[in-house]
């Protein structure tokens, strides 16, 4: 009695299945592709072709539902079938191409022969009148062959083009080099019936990146920043993602990554290496041959009845969605939801179904439109440039992790700059430059200098300087956080002493340095204070504070008002000393 072989099912993935879910990471994606088919009692060999060439074999797995057991899974690649191009038209074009090539060869050979013959003629053995006639005739013959060569080259190009087009017609095949993987799945069914399986695999050539629109309303104090979080999705995996549930992952998958190992760190006496002289004979080297690679078989034995249904993707993948909701009164932007979040990564679920074709083009979707708190600040270095830079310190009070990406910045509806948003976790803040603010005007007045001398026997030259800065706030609202950078000179020798006269700002004492006590800004008047540059930064080096001579003014200027800042210092040195760098 001859036993019947296994039931064979041939499935083509793009035609006989549907991609239900895609989890997209930066640089790769996890795809869930669902199949539904009939199983026969006994062994069933399900052969699935048309899987993407960029599939990661290590990630491939099979899950499903039905009264059956998966016995074996084998993943292999398909080789291109041999294609033989042949047609009467193509044969005729090939003959015409050969004829043109031979004719061109003869024409070029005739020109070379004519040129060689003319080089053999000399006036010593030939009548000059004859040479003149020969040259005239050779010019006519050469011109004839030149034209023939040009015509033949044009005709040959046309025949070659027609031949290539005809070859493409007769060699057209359905073979797709982007879909070269095949899966052979052996399933043993207890009885005839329907079954559903899902192939889950990772693919390369798919990525997403974050982009932002940052809109700042300077007239609003509460949540003045609207941040539109977008994703640019690009994929060229060879398979289109049509009507899929799309999730964007902020985590970066890592494979084979382990903690680096510290090797022994040894010390020894240095000895110079020996000097080798190169011999006249060249040395020979041999290299070990690479070990042959072996194919890998994925095996999985599991009862399909024991699989937990995965969020309804198996049965829902082949059913039409429900009735469309009534049209909204106003068009809105589709936004994503945070389906999971943590300290390291988050998952953004794009609502509804999404279409992302395999075209290597950037497709934009909106993740969220967020209202965020921010504090505005202005900064300028008027000694170098009187223009004022505006900056916002934005607090990520949302549940979203902001990935690093470019941002387009709009202030009061006008595009003013492009900025880079760093990686920001929920609860963190980041600085966002907002370009120049012409409504804050700064005047850096000419430096005032006075010279005096003191001492009777050992005279000392005293140079007094006054630097005045005017800040004009032309806004209708107060500018409450303006920082203006300036400096005094620093001495590199004990003979020259630099002293701040006003406002009173001193260097940290040794006791303050030992106690890590940061000096507070010195209040000059209402809304104006001054400090050594860097005093308000985290991790400030108190021992170096003020040693570079840099200070900054902290100002709050009412609307439509001016504020004057005055810095005075004195430089003292023996009268005989010429001071270099003094203005």
pLDDT in tens, 329-372: 544 455 555 554 444 567 888 888 899 999 999 999 998 899 99
pLDDT in tens, 249-295: 887 666 556 778 888 887 878 788 776 554 444 333 233 333 333 33
Residue 465 near residue 570 (C-beta atoms within 8 A): yes
Inform me whether the pLDDT recorded for 24 exceeds 90.
Answer: yes
Handedness of CA 415, 418, 422, 428 (dihedral sign): negative
The strand pairing partners of 405, in sequence order, are: 421
Q: How wide is the angle at C-alpha 552 spanned by C-alphas 547 and 556, nearest 5°? A: 160
pLDDT in tens, 30-58: 999 999 999 999 999 999 999 999 999 99
CA–CA separation, 215 and 470 (whole Å): 30
Tokens of 482: 């303006």
Q: In what order do the strands lie in the sheet with 528-532?
A: 429-436, 385-395, 374-381, 479-487, 550-557, 528-532, 522-525
Question: Cβ of 33: how many Cβ atoms within 10 Å?
Answer: 24
pLDDT at 580: 85
Give residue 82's pLDDT band: very low, low, confident or very high (50, 70, 90): low
As a whole-number percent, the residues of the chain with pLDDT over 90 amount to 47
Nearest to 187 by CA among 35, 55, 20: 35
pTM for the full predicted model: 0.60
Strands 42-51 and 7-12: parallel
pLDDT at 176: 81
Own/partner pairs for 172-179, CB < 8 Å, 24+ apart?
173/81, 173/83, 175/80, 175/81, 176/50, 176/238, 177/53, 177/80, 178/52, 178/53, 178/54, 178/237, 178/238, 178/239, 178/358, 179/13, 179/14, 179/49, 179/50, 179/51, 179/52, 179/53, 179/238, 179/239
Residue 73 near residue 299 (C-beta atoms within 8 A): yes
Residue 46 near residue 66 (C-beta atoms within 8 A): no
pLDDT at 518: 87
Strands 497-502 and 561-574: antiparallel
For residue 527, what are the contacts with CB-CB under 8 A and spacing of at least 6? 555, 556, 557, 558, 563
pLDDT in tens, 391-435: 999 999 998 889 899 999 999 888 988 889 999 988 999 999 988
Q: How far is CA 209 from the centre of its chain?
A: 7
């Amino acid at each position: 009695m001859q036993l019947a072989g296994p039931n064979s099912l041939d499935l083509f993935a793009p035609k006989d299945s549907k991609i239900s879910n895609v989890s997209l990471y930066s640089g790769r994606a996890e795809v869930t592709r669902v199949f539904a088919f009939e199983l026969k009692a006994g062994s069933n060999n399900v052969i699935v072709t048309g899987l993407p060439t960029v599939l990661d074999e290590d990630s491939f797995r099979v899950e499903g539902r039905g009264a059956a057991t998966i016995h074996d899974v084998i993943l292999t690649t398909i080789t291109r079938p041999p294609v033989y191009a042949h047609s009467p038209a193509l044969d005729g074009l090939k003959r015409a191409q050969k004829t043109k090539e031979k004719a061109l060869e003869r024409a070029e050979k005739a020109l070379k022969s004519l040129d060689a013959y003319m080089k053999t003629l000399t006036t010593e053995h030939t009548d000059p009148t004859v040479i003149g006639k020969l040259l005239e005739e050779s010019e006519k013959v050469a011109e004839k062959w030149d034209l023939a060569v040009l015509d033949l080259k044009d005709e040959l190009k046309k025949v070659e083009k027609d031949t290539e087009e005809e070859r493409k017609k007769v060699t057209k095949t359905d073979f797709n080099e982007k879909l070269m993987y095949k899966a052979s799945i052996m399933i043993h069914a207890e009885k005839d019936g329907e079954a559903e399986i899902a192939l889950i695999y990772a693919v390369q050539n798919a990525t997403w990146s974050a982009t932002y629109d940052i809109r700042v309303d300077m007239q609003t104090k509460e949540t003045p920043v609207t941040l539109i979080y977008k994703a640019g999705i690009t994929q060229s995996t060879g398979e289109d993602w049509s009507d899929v549930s799309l999730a964007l992952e902020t985590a970066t998958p890592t494979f084979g990554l382990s903690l680096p190992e510290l090797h022994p760190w040894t010390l020894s006496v240095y000895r110079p290496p020996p000097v080798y002289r190169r011999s006249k004979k060249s040395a020979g080297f041999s290299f070990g041959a690479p070990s042959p690679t072996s194919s890998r078989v994925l095996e999985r034995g599991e009862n399909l009845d024991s699989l937990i249904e995965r969020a309804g993707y198996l049965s829902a993948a082949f059913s039409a969605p429900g009735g469309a909701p009534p049209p909204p009164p106003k068009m809105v932007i589709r936004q994503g939801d945070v389906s999971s979040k943590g300290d390291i990564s988050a998952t953004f679920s794009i609502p509804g179904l999404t279409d992302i074709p395999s075209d290597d083009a950037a497709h934009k979707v909106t993740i969220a439109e967020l209202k965020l708190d921010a504090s505005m600040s202005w900064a300028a270095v008027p000694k170098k440039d009187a223009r004022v830079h505006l900056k916002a310190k934005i607090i990520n009070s949302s549940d979203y992790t902001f990935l690093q990406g470019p941002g387009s910045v709009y202030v009061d509806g006008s595009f003013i700059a492009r900025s880079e948003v760093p990686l920001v976790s929920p609860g963190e803040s980041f600085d966002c430059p907002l370009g120049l603010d012409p409504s804050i005007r700064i005047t850096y007045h000419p430096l005032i200098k006075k010279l005096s001398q003191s001492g009777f026997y050992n005279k000392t030259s005293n140079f007094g300087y006054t630097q005045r800065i005017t800040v004009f706030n032309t806004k209708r609202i107060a500018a409450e956080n303006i920082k203006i950078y300036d400096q005094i000179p620093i001495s590199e020798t004990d003979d020259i002493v630099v002293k701040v006269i006003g406002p009173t700002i001193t260097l940290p004492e040794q006791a303050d340095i030992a106690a890590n006590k940061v000096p507070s800004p010195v209040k000059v008047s209402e809304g104006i204070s001054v400090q050594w540059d860097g005093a308000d930064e985290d991790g400030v080096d108190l021992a170096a504070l003020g040693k570079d001579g840099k200070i900054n003014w902290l100002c709050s200027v009412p609307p439509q008002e001016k504020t004057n800042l005055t810095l005075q210092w004195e430089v003292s040195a023996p009268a005989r000393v010429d001071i270099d760098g003094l203005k």
